[in-house]
Amino acid sequence: MPFSSRQRIHLYLLGLLLFGSLASAMKTEDFKTCSQSGFCQRNRLYADDAAALGDAFRSPYAVDADSLHLSLEDTAHITADIINKNADKRFTMALTFLQDNTVRVQMNEKDPLHPRFDAHAAHTLVKAPVAQAPQAVDRTQDNQVTMILDASRKVIVTLEPVKVDFLVNDASVITLNDRGFFNFEHLRTKESHKPKMIQQQNDDGTLEDVQHAAEDTMWEETFKSWTDPKPNGPESIALDISFNGFSHVYGIPEHASTLSLKETRGGDNAYTEPYRLYNTDVFEYALDSPTSLYGAIPFMTAHRKDLSAGIFWMNPSETWIDIVKTKSSKNSLAKLLDFGKKEVTTTQTHWMSEAGVLDLFVFLGPTAKDVLRQYTSLTGTPALPQQFAIGYHQCRWNYINQKDVLEVDQKFDEFEMPYDVIWLDIEYTVEKKYFTWDNTKFPDPIAMEKQLDDKGRQLVAIVDPHIKRADDFPVFEVANKDHYFVQKPTGGDYEGWCWPGQSSWPDFFDPKVCQWWQSLFAFDKFVGTRENVHIWHDMNEPSIFNGPEITMQKEMIHHGNWEHRNLHNLYGLLSFAATSEGVRTRTKVPKRPFVLSRSFYAGAQRYGAVWTGDNMADWDSLAMSMPMILSSGLGGMPFNGADVPGFFGNPGPELLARWYQTGVFQPFFRGHAHIDTKRREPYLVDEPYRSITRKALRTRYALLPYWYTLFYDAFKTGTPMMRPMFMEFPQEEQIFAMEDQFMVGDSILVKPITTEQTTSTDVYFPGEQPWYDLETYQPIYHHGYRTVDAPLEKIPAYYRGGRIIPRRERPRRSSAAMALDPFTLMIALDKKSNAEGTLYLDDGESYDYEAGTFAHTHFVYNKGILTCDSLHADGASAGAQAFAKKMSSVRVERLVLMGTHRQPNRVQLLTKQTTLDLAFSYHEAVSSLEIRDPAVSVVECDWTIRFDF
């Protein structure tokens, strides 16, 4: 009798355990430390040697003044050769001045032995950056070139030793090679290499010349049972970057670490390892750790009261980042900062990448939102998802068959819980051969999908990038025949183990492989799918159970003869992009794709959503979801979420309820569970937890108009939907590291409860405006910490005074069912009794918004008068008009004015045709006023509502 899939997995896990190569529990020893990763060790040693020499150390890198070329008018760049005087090697440097306070710094080897990998930009950037010439150049100093960008910004290149300073108001805010750790390992042959020697004292006191420890890993390195043959020898690039006067740096997802990144060397509470960026599938990953996880975005932002600035280290090879914080006296440039007597902290970072070229962008803000705009204008803004994608998703490994899927669907209705999408994990396939259906379990997938569709619901099916090597599998046959797989250095397909057993991995670096992959999502190829089926793309780090660090050997070969080492962190992005493009183009008229990817790199925001991977169903993991998603947003990848209520383990009902309450306020909201866990669909828990969870789901649906507007804003500007507190209140130093509360957009503050049996919590209320309880509308006139009640049924969440927030209150079963529902406008008054807010609406699925088919309305409450204006009025395209017409029947059915201390004499609706008195009720206890059914349009701003107090 054949084994069931479940049995096969267990046999497989058992087999791997016997052979001892799969991480079947969190094993830190499966992943390298810096000292086990040759180039990281070499560059840390380089830094240590430099630091040990102190003032006697001088970086050997200098600009060759004769080679300096300034070309301001046309291309706005400086080029020069840099010489490594110790090695007598030349490098090219180019500084390009770009629009919007951005500068690009590129360095490559001059005349390398063979080309270095520099094909990353085409996959990472959305367009060629636009240059903008500096205003002037100052060459009056011998050892310096000063580029004056504008009235407040300058770039100073010091020639020897080479150093680049970025100045704002005459103070250096970012310095490259501040500490002289710049180290560009040139390509060499083993024969020509002269090992670095040092003197070592023997026990008997004699001195002996021995090789420097950095030599050990130049030509070959071993890790556990693997040997990396490193045919190209050393080729790393490292640079130190100081953020002068900044005590906080953020970003570089993905780590299960703090929002404000920790020190990694010395310091109190510091990690001992650098933050690592190397996409890996870490089983039961540790919390509060700089270990690399599934995704890698080498983009960091620094923030202080008056300024935010950032850097994007565009290199997709394995990368490590050391962080230390020093006081001003240690850093000469920090002295330039005018902070009076106050101690100035500078954050010094040290970036180390294994291969490629140096390609760095510096963003000078001045705000954190500006830095994100600058970054996403290069790497792309987050795609606008289909409306359903921001509803609730119900997943589990696995819904076992068609009946199971339809029963779960039915139960949500029975228990009156809204949801939009049900998911199928790997067991729906025949032996994990993706693009196939196990018809014994799913006899008629199309019929099942139609049934879901009838309720406006969607199905997501998983398709991983590992392809089972099986002769009866057409996808394999084609890829094998046409050489679409990543190759071994000796030729032939690379093979490894994953869910299906022996597998190979498509080489997504090859454009023709991407085209082929995309074609597989056509409805006639992926038979059994239709338009309401979307894709989950998992294990694309790539996860390889019997590979070093559970991934691909670095010496494997991609299209163009590039070693995997060069582009490891790009692999997940490329497979994500190809999958997304396949889904986008499977219909005659392309539709916005929905793809969830586990792995990502800079630019992934253009292709869909990601999640924080295999978390645990415990309280600490719930708390960790916040800094992880916030850091992802600061990395330009805001459509992120954590498995609710934790993937591994069986959550108690309290944790489940608290996690659902939190998920409501996080961008990607999906329930998911490991195959060995007990069933835990939200309707299965007992009361009162079931009702609490139902209430949470309904809150999410009520806020969908606000969420969708935030997704639109992110698509336009790069500003994340879920924001760290400091992004909205950049002046309040006490919240710069705050990660246990956050903002959804600029209008809602949330403080999830992440500890057991908690009934109250301290919330920090920033700003001078009042806040209003999301449920009771009770105003809070307080600046700073305040203890608030948080019984089980309540998550502390507040509207910000001065904002208008759109909601839809009617409980429905899915977002599709809400398309023509009326709106409620929550008007949260500021101290001057003003408020404003926006609402974005479109058809929720097509690209017609690109041609103007959308409505974008701005609501303003000022001096007792509520009006609106169309933000899309300018281009009142035919599409916009048609859409407005379609939506004109959609009305506002309720207004809530929060923070009004008197009851009005009358409230009137004024239109061209009529003046109407509107009914209202005043709730003195919470100072709120409710107006029932003003029946005004949210897209045609031909009305005014007047409140006479």
Catalytic residue status for 454: no
CB of 111 to ligand NOJ, least distance (A): 45
- Selection from 142, 140, 143 nearest residue 160 by Cα: 143
The binder of ligand NOJ chosen from 109, 318, 322, 425 (CB under 6 A): 425
CB of 6 to ligand NOJ, least distance (A): 12
Q: Does 254 bind ligand NOJ (CB under 6 A)?
A: no
Q: Which is nearer to ligand NOJ, 42 or 672 (CB)?
A: 672
Q: 355-394 mask for ligand NOJ (x: CB under 6 A)?
A: ----------------------------------------
Q: Which is nearer to ligand NOJ, 179 or 598 (CB)?
A: 598
Give me the amino acid identity at 445: P
Q: Alpha-carbon distance 287 to 628, whole Å?
A: 10
Residues 448-507 that bind ligand NOJ (CB under 6 A): 462
Q: Which is nearer to ligand NOJ, 120 or 672 (CB)?
A: 672
CB-CB neighbours of 74 under 10 Å? 8
| Helix, strand, coil % in the chain, rounded to nearest 5 | 25, 30, 45
CB-CB neighbours of 527 under 10 Å? 12
What would the two tokens of residue 872 be? 């899309």
Angle between helix 619-634 and helix 653-663 axes, rounded to 10 deg: 10
Q: What angle do CA 702, 408, 582 make, to 5 degrees?
A: 75
CA R_g for the chain: 29
CB of 4 to ligand NOJ, least distance (A): 16
Q: Which is nearer to ligand NOJ, 5 or 21 (CB)?
A: 5
Q: Which is nearer to ligand NOJ, 486 or 642 (CB)?
A: 642
Q: Does 613 bind ligand NOJ (CB under 6 A)?
A: yes
Number of residues lying near ligand NOJ (CB under 6 A)? 9
The binder of ligand NOJ chosen from 83, 214, 261, 426 (CB under 6 A): 426
Phi-psi region of 444 (alpha: psi -120 to 50; beta: other; left: phi over 0): beta
Ordered DSSP codes for 889-931: T-BEEEEEEES--S--SEEEEEESS-EEE--EEEEGGGTEEEE
In the three-class reduction of DSSP (H, G, I as helix; E, B as strand; rest coil), residue 583 is classed as helix
The label of the residue with tokens 């997504």 reads: 508
- Choosing from 538, 713, 773, 842, the catalytic residue is 538
What would the two tokens of residue 110 be? 């001059």
CB of 20 to ligand NOJ, least distance (A): 21
CB of 673 to ligand NOJ, least distance (A): 8
Q: Does 273 bind ligand NOJ (CB under 6 A)?
A: no
In the three-class reduction of DSSP (H, G, I as helix; E, B as strand; rest coil), residue 664 is classed as coil
How far the first Cα of the chain sits from its last, in Å, is 81
CB 725 within 8 A of CB 766: yes
Q: Alpha-carbon distance 127 to 4, whole Å?
A: 49
What would the two tokens of residue 419 be? 């949801």
Q: Which residues contact 355 (CB under 8 A, 6 or more apart)?
A: 116, 117, 232, 235, 236, 237, 317, 563, 565, 566
| E strand map for 439-585 | 458-462, 467-468, 496-498, 501-504, 533-537, 557-558, 562-563
CB of 394 to ligand NOJ, least distance (A): 13
CB of 596 to ligand NOJ, least distance (A): 9
Q: Which is nearer to ligand NOJ, 463 or 898 (CB)?
A: 463
The phi and psi torsions of 569 (rounded to 5 degrees) equal: -70, -10
CB of 15 to ligand NOJ, least distance (A): 18
Catalytic residue status for 48: no
In the three-class reduction of DSSP (H, G, I as helix; E, B as strand; rest coil), residue 63 is classed as strand
- Choosing from 614, 773, 821, 830, the catalytic residue is 614
CB of 425 to ligand NOJ, least distance (A): 5
The phi and psi torsions of 834 (rounded to 5 degrees) equal: -120, 160
Q: Where are the alpha helices (DSSP H) in 467-587?
A: 474-481, 511-519, 564-584
Q: Does 598 bind ligand NOJ (CB under 6 A)?
A: yes
CB of 659 to ligand NOJ, least distance (A): 16
Q: Which is nearer to ligand NOJ, 425 or 493 (CB)?
A: 425
Q: Measured at CB, which residue is nearest to ligand NOJ?
A: 397
Q: Which is nearer to ligand NOJ, 421 or 714 (CB)?
A: 421
Q: Does 154 bind ligand NOJ (CB under 6 A)?
A: no
In the three-class reduction of DSSP (H, G, I as helix; E, B as strand; rest coil), residue 78 is classed as strand
Kind of pairing between the strands at 392-394 and 669-671: parallel
Q: Which is nearer to ligand NOJ, 184 or 669 (CB)?
A: 669
Cα 57 off chain centre by: 39
Q: Which long-range contacts (CB under 8 A, 24 or more apart) does 2-8 make?
A: 5/426, 5/427, 5/431, 5/432, 5/438, 6/427, 6/675, 8/431
Q: Alpha-carbon distance 437 to 427, whole Å?
A: 9
Q: Alpha-carbon distance 210 to 375, whole Å?
A: 46
CB of 674 to ligand NOJ, least distance (A): 7
- Selection from 560, 559, 566, 556 nearest residue 226 by Cα: 556
CB of 23 to ligand NOJ, least distance (A): 13
| E strand map for 268-318 | 275-277, 295-296, 299-304, 307-313
Q: Which is nearer to ligand NOJ, 30 or 425 (CB)?
A: 425
The binder of ligand NOJ chosen from 165, 493, 510, 614 (CB under 6 A): 614
Q: Alpha-carbon distance 70 to 53, whole Å?
A: 35
Q: Does 680 bind ligand NOJ (CB under 6 A)?
A: no
Q: Does 397 bind ligand NOJ (CB under 6 A)?
A: yes
In the three-class reduction of DSSP (H, G, I as helix; E, B as strand; rest coil), residue 192 is classed as coil
Q: Which is nearer to ligand NOJ, 180 or 500 (CB)?
A: 500
The binder of ligand NOJ chosen from 109, 178, 449, 538 (CB under 6 A): 538
Residues 648-677 that bind ligand NOJ (CB under 6 A): 672
Q: Which is nearer to ligand NOJ, 17 or 820 (CB)?
A: 17
CB 44 within 8 A of CB 321: no
Cα 151 off chain centre by: 34
CB-CB neighbours of 791 under 10 Å? 10
DSSP one-letter code for 4: P
Is the N-terminal amide bond of 638 cis, ω within 30° of 0? no
Give me the amino acid identity at 79: T
CB of 607 to ligand NOJ, least distance (A): 18
Q: Which is nearer to ligand NOJ, 507 or 538 (CB)?
A: 538
Q: Please give the residue ranges that form the binding site for ligand NOJ (CB under 6 A).
A: 397, 425-426, 462, 538, 598, 613-614, 672
Question: Any idea which residues carry the catalytic annotation?
Answer: 538, 614
